[in-house]
C-alpha cells in the first residue's frame, strides 16, 4: 500500500539544508536526498520528531535546540594523549575524526581539538555540540524498509558499503 505520511518504521527520503548561525553547513544538493528509517534514531531526535506526519512534497523549517541535536557542549569532554601513543601513520590535523577505544573496549568518536609535537588533545564533543541547528527539509519519497534494514535499524543505500 502507498504511504504518503512520515511515520515510524518507514524509510523517508528527504532533501535538506542544515544552517547554523546563518552558515550553510550541509545539504543534500550534492549527494541527493538523504534516506533514513524513521523512529530508529538515525537522525537527530529534534528533527525526527518534527518530521513525523509530514507528507510527500511537504517542506518545513525545523529549529533544533542542542539538547535535541548533538548535545550540549561539555567543557570537560577532553583528553590529552601523548603523540607517541598514536600510530605514526595517522595524519594529524584539526578536526580530524578518530575512533578511540577505552579500557572497557567501548569505541568513542573523538575529534582532534589541537596538537603539538608532544601531545594531542582529543575533543569528545561532536563538532555541532551546543549548536542550535536550523534544518530546512522536504520529504520527497517514502517506502517500506526491507527486512534487513529493519533488522539493522538503518537504511542500506544499496551500494554494498557498511557504515
Note the pLDDT tens digit of each residue in 152-162: 999 976 544 44
Q: List, for residues 65-118, the tens digit of each pLDDT value.
A: 999 999 999 999 999 988 888 777 777 777 888 888 888 888 888 998 888 889
Q: What is the pLDDT of residue 160?
A: 44
For the chain, what are the domain ranges?
Answer: 11-70+130-152, 78-123
CB 138 within 8 A of CB 15: yes
**Average pLDDT of every residue of the chain:** 90
- Cα distance between residue 66 and residue 130, in whole Å: 5
The reported pLDDT for the residue numbered 158 is 57
Q: Which fold has domain 11-70+130-152?
A: Chitinase A; domain 3 (3.10.50)
Hey, what CATH topology would domain 78-123 get?
Thrombin, subunit H (2.40.10)
The set of residues, in sequence order, having a beta carbon less than 8 Å from that of 133 and lying 6+ positions away, is 18, 19, 20, 44, 46, 47, 63, 64, 69, 70
Amino acid at each position: 500500500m502507498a504511504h504518503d505520511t512520515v511515520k515510524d518504521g518507514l524509510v523517508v527520503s528527504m532533501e535538506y539544508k542544515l544552517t547554523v548561525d546563518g552558515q550553510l553547513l550541509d545539504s543534500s544538493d550534492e549527494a541527493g536526498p538523504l534516506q533514513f528509517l524513521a523512529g530508529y534514531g538515525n537522525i537527530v531526535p529534534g528533527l525526527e520528531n518534527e518530521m513525523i506526519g509530514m507528507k510527500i512534497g511537504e517542506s518545513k523549517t525545523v529549529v533544533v535546540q542542542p539538547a535535541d541535536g548533538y548535545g550540549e557542549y561539555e567543557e570537560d569532554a577532553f583528553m590529552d594523549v601523548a603523540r607517541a601513543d598514536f600510530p605514526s601513520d595517522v595524519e594529524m590535523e584539526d578536526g580530524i575524526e578518530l575512533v578511540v577505544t577505552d579500557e572497557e573496549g567501548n569505541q568513542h568518536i573523538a575529534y582532534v581539538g589541537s596538537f603539538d609535537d608532544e601531545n594531542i588533545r582529543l575533543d569528545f564533543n561532536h563538532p555541532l555540540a551546543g549548536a542550535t541547528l536550523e534544518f530546512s527539509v522536504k520529504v520527497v519519497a517514502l517506502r517500506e524498509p526491507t527486512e534487513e534494514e529493519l533488522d539493522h535499524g538503518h537504511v542500506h543505500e544499496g551500494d554494498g558499503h557498511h557504515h
